[in-house]
């Protein structure tokens, strides 16, 4: 059994929801998983883990600055363990998706942190109209409308490929299994 630390930076909650799903998958496989926001993740938690997964949501083309600082400060410890990174962006999926843009965000994160994750995934996020303040709701509605997306702000829209999230978690979990005798 391995100990997995899942650190996320979430803006509207989708990055956290994905972190929690990854935790569920590795727990079902018999491991322990601790899910923490980057604000609550410590160097001790990283050091005590056998694997570290970091994930972040994009807003206006950027991950939370604190998430990048967390990775820069802990890069060597993270690299010494099984590790992975996931990105959450509406550019990754949904109406008007621009996967090249979504992967560009990942490349920028890798460049700014100096970390080369062993596994990387890019997941679509969600339009959480009902949780946005009025100005953000209007801006997101305009952006979604231009992209051909949903503009009914009385409800939320989910674009995350949850099967893809579970595959990403399962692939990480496979790296933690002890080598089988031939």
* 64: in domain: yes
Query: Does residue 40 register a pLDDT over 90?
Result: yes
Q: Are residues 69 and 148 in the same domain?
A: no
Domain contains 181: no
- Percent with pLDDT over 90 in the chain: 78
pLDDT in tens, 61-110: 899 999 999 999 999 999 999 999 999 998 898 878 889 999 999 999 99
Could you tell me how many residues make up the chain?
182
Instruction: Output the pLDDT for position 178.
Output: 63
Give the domain extent around 140.
127-159
Number of independent structural domains in the chain:
2
**Domain identity same for 78 and 150:** no
pTM of the model: 0.91
CATH number assigned to the domain comprising residue 107: 3.40.50.360
Same domain, 70 and 98: yes
Tell me the three state secondary structure of residue 160: coil
The torsion angle over the Cα atoms of residues 168, 65, 72 and 101, rounded to 10 degrees, is: 50
The tokens describing 129, both together, are: 């109209």
144 is a domain residue: yes
- What number of other Cβ atoms are within 10 A of residue 167's Cβ? 13
**Residue 180 pLDDT more than 50?**
no
């Amino acid at each position: 059994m391995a100990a997995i630390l899942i650190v996320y930076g979430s803006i509207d909650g989708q990055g956290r929801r994905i972190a929690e799903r990854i935790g569920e998958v590795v727990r079902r496989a018999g491991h322990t998983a601790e899910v923490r926001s980057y604000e609550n993740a410590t160097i001790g938690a990283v050091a005590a883990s056998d694997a570290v997964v970091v994930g972040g949501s994009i807003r206006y083309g950027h991950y939370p600055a604190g998430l990048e600082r967390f990775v820069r400060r802990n890069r060597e410890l993270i690299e010494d363990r099984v590790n992975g990174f996931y990105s959450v962006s509406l550019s990754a999926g949904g109406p008007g998706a621009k996967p090249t843009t979504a992967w560009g965000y990942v490349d920028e994160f890798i460049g700014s942190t100096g970390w080369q994750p062993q596994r990387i995934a890019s997941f679509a996020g969600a339009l959480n109209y009902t949780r946005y303040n009025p100005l953000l709701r209007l801006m997101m509605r305009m952006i979604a409308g231009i992209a051909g997306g949903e503009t009914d702000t009385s409800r939320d829209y989910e674009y995350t490929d949850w099967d893809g999230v579970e595959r990403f978690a399962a692939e990480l979990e496979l790296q933690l299994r002890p080598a089988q005798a031939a």
